[in-house]
Structure 1
Amino acid sequence: MTSPGSAHDPVLDQDGVRLTVEDTVATVTLANPAKRNAQSPALWRALAHAGRSLPGTVRVVVLRAEGKSFSAGLDRQAFTPEGFPGEPSFPELARLSDDALDGVIAEYQEAFTWWRRSDLVTVAAVQGHAIGAGFQLALACDLRVVAQDVQFAMRETGLGLVPDLTGTHPLVSLVGYARALEICATGRFVHAEEAERIGLANLVVPGAELDSAVRDLTAALLVAPRDAVIETKALLRGATDRSYEEQRAAERAAQARRLRDLADLGD
């Protein structure tokens, strides 16, 4: 894939993450294809930094990856006794106090949380393998456009771990508890046709058309006024946590804000 923002100097380019911005669209690229964009704490910090570096004008963020795989998951070096240089190894993490360990994992999760901001619409362009942490990163985005060769899998349970990078909530929201449990407990691959059928993918396209499909979707997302999209995203995100009556009230309040804003624009 080629990045829509590749003609511009990167805002950020470090530890396998590149951020470019073109007007209202930002592109975050996983840029270590030689390792199939395997993830590490350094990459997670770079992703969190990318989120903090977005100009206020950005409305849509595209997450993409170089090479044949979106992300093959956690770098296998994490499973060695020494782990990553300068980072706590798994045995060292296990010896931390409960509070300290919670803090380390919370820091890792920051790379996966900002994609849900109500002032952004985030789109993952996914090809090839999206495994474990790669699957969870795709799930962090609002929308997913996938190539026909996509292979989603949640392998953490088979390694004696759990998916802890914010992926469980969106997975259950998208496919339901029973299917989410089956996907996580078996670690099996979910391919493109099933991903679209069960709601993991908004759109499936041939790999050669992935860039153009994402550009078309991005253009469509930018048509509506920004504040209306922000209010709508917030309404939809909160819908599952509200009762029917609470959602009705939230709709009324949001519409009142929109009507007043539109009236002010007309003065």
Structure 2
Amino acid sequence: MSYQTITLVKEAGVVTLTINRPPLNPLNSQFFRELDRVVAEIGGDQEVRVLIITGAGEKAFAAGADVTEMVDLTPLEMYDFCRLSLAAYNRLENLDKPTIAAVNGLALGGGCELALACDFRLAAETARFALPEINLGIIPGGGGTQRLPRLIGTARARELLFLGEMIDAATAREYGLVNRVVPGNALLSEAGKLAEKLLAKPPVAQRMLKMALNNGMNMDLPAALLFELESFLLAFGSADRVEGFRALLEKRKPEFKGK
């Protein structure tokens, strides 16, 4: 299948999705439709275990939503635009497989929100992050006001959201916005190494772990602990668990089958 805004490479259980609108890779409605479709397809593809998202070129991961498309929209039309982005980002966040944002440059506005919807964020040393919507007379509409404070805490999130200022990769690492900062020429290689580590883990337990994390964040503690227990028991009932226990007792490397 051909796409207008992205390119896909599938290799050894890993799909690399590249936002292909250089040099700034702005996110338009077509991108959100394509992202939503691709993530849905990955969710049903048993051969795919990890998704990596990056941007074409060296300048930007995604420098925000496409203002040229947004500028003349009515509030109702803008509502439909935001619903597209929210649907795509929610599907990405809830994909039952690990996702990695390999942030190769500017991650502004919707681009930062896209990275926030991933499980892991690796940043090139030249990467920059911001939610600058306040400077345009608006606020984030793709999950920024909700995912950011859940990730880095309300104090730092308020600073970034109210000031709309850009931070560098090192500061993003300090804030907990990214997991790791690496040289730009090693970004995809490091993302690949992380993907390889994730590929070695049991798929059923990965799915249950992601469900427990994502759903538990929106529950009170007693309900979240119960949900965790239920997720644990589902993982415990898997053939992967039997293999993991046997491998431990037999002092060998487990061979997980995702069952």
* 8 Å contact from structure 2 (residues 104, 127) kept in 1: yes
% same residue:
30
In structure 2, distance between residues paired with 1:262 and 1:74? 44
| Counterpart among 240, 248, 259 of residue 225 in structure 2 | 248
* Equivalent position SS for 1:14: coil
Which residue of structure 2 lines up, in the alignment, with residue 58 of structure 1?
Answer: 48
Which residue of structure 2 lines up, in the alignment, with residue 143 of structure 1?
Answer: 120
Which residue of structure 2 lines up, in the alignment, with residue 235 of structure 1?
Answer: 212
In structure 2, distance between residues paired with 1:222 and 1:121? 9
* 8 Å contact from structure 1 (residues 158, 185) kept in 2: no
| Counterpart among 30, 34, 44 of residue 32 in structure 2 | 44
CA RMSD of aligned residues (A): 2.1
| Segment drifting more, 195-204 vs 40-49 | 40-49
Deviations 1:45-71 (A, max 9, x none): 222222233223322100011112111
| Segment drifting more, 181-190 vs 237-246 | 237-246
**Is 2:171 the partner of 1:182?**
no
Give the TM-score of the pair, scaled to structure 1. 0.82
In structure 1, distance between residues paired with 2:56 and 2:92? 19
Give the TM-score of the pair, scaled to structure 2. 0.84
Q: CA separation of 1:112/1:252 partners in 2, compared to 1, >3 Å: closer, same or farther?
A: closer
User: Which amino acid is the alignment partner of residue 48 of structure 1?
Assistant: D
Residues matched between the structures, number: 240
In structure 2, distance between residues paired with 1:149 and 1:14? 28
In structure 1, distance between residues paired with 2:138 and 2:157? 16
Deviations 1:148-186 (A, max 9, x none): 111101111111111111232221111112211210111
Matches within 5 A, 1:112-191: 112-191=89-168
Which residue of structure 1 lines up, in the alignment, with residue 249 of structure 2?
Answer: none
User: Which amino acid is the alignment partner of residue 158 of structure 1?
Assistant: N
In structure 1, distance between residues paired with 2:113 and 2:143? 7
* 8 Å contact from structure 1 (residues 137, 167) kept in 2: no
* 8 Å contact from structure 2 (residues 204, 240) kept in 1: no
* 8 Å contact from structure 1 (residues 115, 142) kept in 2: no
Deviations 1:21-78 (A, max 9, x none): 22421111111223x1112112222222222332233221000111121111123313
User: Which amino acid is the alignment partner of residue 19 of structure 1?
Assistant: L
Which residue of structure 2 lines up, in the alignment, with residue 70 of structure 1?
Answer: 61
Which residue of structure 2 lines up, in the alignment, with residue 214 of structure 1?
Answer: 191
| Counterpart among 74, 80, 83 of residue 106 in structure 1 | 83
In structure 2, distance between residues paired with 1:264 and 1:27? 29
Q: CA separation of 1:205/1:242 partners in 2, compared to 1, >3 Å: closer, same or farther?
A: same
Q: Structure 1: 5+ residue runs without aligned partners?
A: 1-11, 81-88
In structure 1, distance between residues paired with 2:95 and 2:108? 26
Deviations 1:199-236 (A, max 9, x none): 11011101111011101100111111100111111112
